[in-house]
Structure 1
């Protein structure tokens, strides 16, 4: 029987699992969390459910239907707390997994050798650094929303949400629902830039009209909670001692450079910042998948990557939202499961929402002037405490065009997070500071043979592997 392993149980992964089962394959669905749904459908645990969970989620009924159908299917094995730490492709695909608590020391090990692998690992917030962004009380938008959705925790009483993109609106709504006073939502792009990005060929938006209803819902929430939405503004500094106490907000030029004299100081006890998303590519890179110039996994019309037997779906192929992720997941799962052709409806939806994703980038994309927020002492790599000045000085002093060399010189991106938070920023700063204005090697912050920190004891203890193999039976 054909076996498909799917990594990630967010919208793309859940859709892929159901489609693969529809094609007749056995499915193993792996997720590092103890609950299905990914970041989009993050929710209270089953042990203490909410009676009104759907108020915080778009498509909650769709999630429950996907989850329940997979949990009830005897040919779907769901592995919660399953962290993929390596992928090998020497002779077929081998997926190395540890299963257990994320910080546990006695996790079981397992290796899958599926007929096909679907990567649906999603994305995380991209946060551009600014002076004080390392203070306690400065959150990514995703972290703040996760606390609100998954624990009903308010990150602060007086909060500003800042950055770029439509994601700022649901973050503000989640914060307001937990009792925070959201002082403002600050979008870095100007109103004119946003209108131009969204208004080109407006008839193409008609098939995605459901997104318009989502926007209406968020706008209603903004009005209900009296949250101002201001364009062309950004948080350019955070201030405080033990935690954030205030922020500096500045008006921006079209290229995001701060307008001198426009700065205002605002008292807050938390700030939530998100400048779009960065795909989680370490497993795709480990599997040998080609990446585009924009840093996404390249796939064909069937969502097949450049590595035979490896498919990709969701945000790692392009940031496009839940509808695009589900459409791609259906296509990837169907073909990974062995079906030929078909999925016409999913292909139409993919085409519609791929266009929608391009409009998001056109309207809310990052502009290069943001580096004007930075001062020489601004910490860029928080793990290794590498400053903006150190990065620029290393580039000027060494005159190197190699990202690998410059990272080794400064240690930027070499800390415990392995560049997940600062990788793209380090690349941008080093590239801008290099003598040619770009970097010449193929080094990547996503290339990690061991995809996440793993204890040597977990690898050295053979009983964990043997015991787990015995417990698998005929799997």
Structure 2
């Protein structure tokens, strides 16, 4: 049974649901609770913290955890909220002044996941972003990972992807990745930044006083590279991965301002692992499902929000990387604003002064980030015809380019690009770029209807009010203690 509204004798405090347990989601929960709301937080990860605060209580090296004290403070207030980790939202609807979310709770491949239904007056979507790694010939070899995956293994589990690792891509995120790998015991052979000096200067040199808050981080990372003797090269990148059964080396080339390899600059470097990272892609599925407007182009599409972090959909707020890639500080500030406003707060409240000031500063930082490290169109020139672009369905560049003149939906059906398990999350940006280069008109891979994989039996159980496996819980924000026990039992 789904229960909604305030119970007998309870105040009519606003019910706020929060999707995502990273910096934006945790800050939103803290702010909503401070404004007097009843809060439910759902996160699909097994632990709170998102991509930024990855940890394992026994294995994590605290040197790899930035801002850990802030995480512990945010986590400390959640005893007043209802929290579900391992919760995969597969349905999200906003209508008639209410939001309804349906999820299954438990390990992704488990047969006995618990059904969960949440009703709220408002929702803060803080689903974050995932790594964007542009394909290169040989990137399907064992030993190649995204930069984020390499860092996650180091931060959470204290392991490295290999003994000798090349870190390649674009953006300041490459620096903490290299630092994490070195602390975890890997030899980082080099960090290769695709952007050239001119692009970096255009993004970072104007109005340097605005970067005062980030100077300390830069000094820390530069010091780490120096201590571990890690070379940092700009205007270069991995254009081919070498090996038969696994990574044996890479081909590095100098890149021009548009990221095209410069002939005659290629050189081979021996290594057994590669970490690729060319920025991040926002996770827009839930926001789109809720009816929030999206704007942008192939360089990036994001949720449109106003000063209160409201989207175009009634009762739906958004915060963090889905509104623009700006880093953890921006996500924390936006989350605080979104959570407070979703709970019925006001921007004029004194408690909003700090978050609003940080948000203004970090939005300027995000613009610099794009100018300095944004993806340039020439990267497709390092692809061979037989380079696999869609890893799930083993679709090559040539197969996609040959059907670029068809509508995107027809191209996907004909080639199966983007129709695999990841639903285009890994290959979407690359497919769009190849289609555009070949003269086609990409329509956007972010219009995906699939939020999370769910079994038909799980859907049926929620509709019938029956158990999924051993038990099911269809709950609202109100029945906290009972629902927490019911949700936990099937996972023991």
The reply to whether TM is greater than 0.5 is yes
Among 89, 93, 107, which residue is 1:88 paired with? Answer: 93
2 CA distance for matches of 1:450 and 1:188? 33
TM superposition outliers: structure 1 runs of 4+ over 4 Å = 470-473
Query: Contact conserved, 2:59 with 2:158, CA < 8 A, in 1?
Result: no
1 CA distance for matches of 2:93 and 2:418? 24
1:348 aligns with 2:357: yes
Distance apart, 1:202 and its partner CA: 2.4
Query: Contact conserved, 2:59 with 2:157, CA < 8 A, in 1?
Result: no
Which residues of structure 2 form unaligned runs of 5+? Answer: 1-12, 481-492
Query: Contact conserved, 2:242 with 2:249, CA < 8 A, in 1?
Result: yes
Change (3 A) 1:38 1:432: same
Among 69, 72, 77, which residue is 2:77 paired with? Answer: 69
1 CA distance for matches of 2:260 and 2:475? 60
1 CA distance for matches of 2:478 and 2:171? 48
The aligned counterpart of 1:267 is 270
1:22-68 CA-partner distances (Å, limit 9, x unpaired): 11001101111121111101011x3x255x52x11221111111111
Q: Per the alignment, in what secondary structure is the counterpart of residue 93 of structure 1?
A: strand
2 CA distance for matches of 1:39 and 1:63? 12
Distance apart, 1:416 and its partner CA: 1.0
1 CA distance for matches of 2:289 and 2:133? 24
The aligned counterpart of 2:323 is 317
Query: Contact conserved, 2:182 with 2:188, CA < 8 A, in 1?
Result: yes
Among 138, 143, 158, which residue is 1:137 paired with? Answer: 143
1:172-212 CA-partner distances (Å, limit 9, x unpaired): 00100111000000000112321221112323x1xx42311
Stretch of structure 1 that moved more, 12-21 or 450-459: 450-459
The aligned counterpart of 1:154 is 160
The aligned counterpart of 2:225 is 222
2 CA distance for matches of 1:152 and 1:93? 40
Tell me the number of residue pairs that the alignment of Structure 1 and Structure 2 aligns. 456
Among 357, 366, 372, which residue is 2:366 paired with? Answer: 357
1:36 aligns with 2:45: no
Distance apart, 1:340 and its partner CA: 2.0
Counterparts of residues 95-174 of structure 1 (less than 5 Å): 95-174=101-180
The aligned counterpart of 1:287 is 290
1:388-433 CA-partner distances (Å, limit 9, x unpaired): 00111112xxx33x22222222211111110010011111111221
1:406 aligns with 2:411: yes
Distance apart, 1:470 and its partner CA: 7.8
Query: Contact conserved, 1:86 with 1:449, CA < 8 A, in 2?
Result: no
1:331-384 CA-partner distances (Å, limit 9, x unpaired): 000000111222122111100010011111111111111011011000000111
Among 392, 402, 408, which residue is 1:393 paired with? Answer: 402
Counterparts of residues 406-425 of structure 1 (less than 5 Å): 406-425=411-430
The aligned counterpart of 2:389 is 380
2 CA distance for matches of 1:214 and 1:22? 30
Among 303, 306, 309, which residue is 2:312 paired with? Answer: 306
Distance apart, 1:130 and its partner CA: 0.8
Query: Contact conserved, 2:311 with 2:317, CA < 8 A, in 1?
Result: yes
Query: Contact conserved, 2:387 with 2:396, CA < 8 A, in 1?
Result: yes
Counterparts of residues 194-213 of structure 1 (less than 5 Å): 194-203=200-209, 205=210, 208-213=211-216
Among 5, 10, 15, which residue is 2:27 paired with? Answer: 15
Change (3 A) 1:472 1:106: farther
TM-score where L is the length of structure 1: 0.93
2 CA distance for matches of 1:366 and 1:449? 26
Change (3 A) 1:365 1:267: same
Query: Contact conserved, 1:9 with 1:31, CA < 8 A, in 2?
Result: yes
Which residues of structure 1 form unaligned runs of 5+? Answer: none
Q: Per the alignment, in what secondary structure is the counterpart of residue 341 of structure 2?
A: helix
Query: Contact conserved, 1:377 with 1:387, CA < 8 A, in 2?
Result: yes
1 CA distance for matches of 2:90 and 2:236? 40
Distance apart, 1:158 and its partner CA: 0.6
Distance apart, 1:250 and its partner CA: 0.5
Query: Contact conserved, 1:87 with 1:95, CA < 8 A, in 2?
Result: yes
Distance apart, 1:473 and its partner CA: 7.7
Stretch of structure 1 that moved more, 403-412 or 465-474: 465-474
2 CA distance for matches of 1:191 and 1:334? 41
Q: Per the alignment, in what secondary structure is the counterpart of residue 294 of structure 2?
A: coil
The aligned counterpart of 2:234 is 231
Q: Per the alignment, in what secondary structure is the counterpart of residue 176 of structure 2?
A: helix
Counterparts of residues 42-61 of structure 1 (less than 5 Å): 42-44=54-56, 46=57, 48=58, 50=60, 52-53=61-62, 55-61=63-69
Distance apart, 1:260 and its partner CA: 0.6
2 CA distance for matches of 1:232 and 1:444? 29
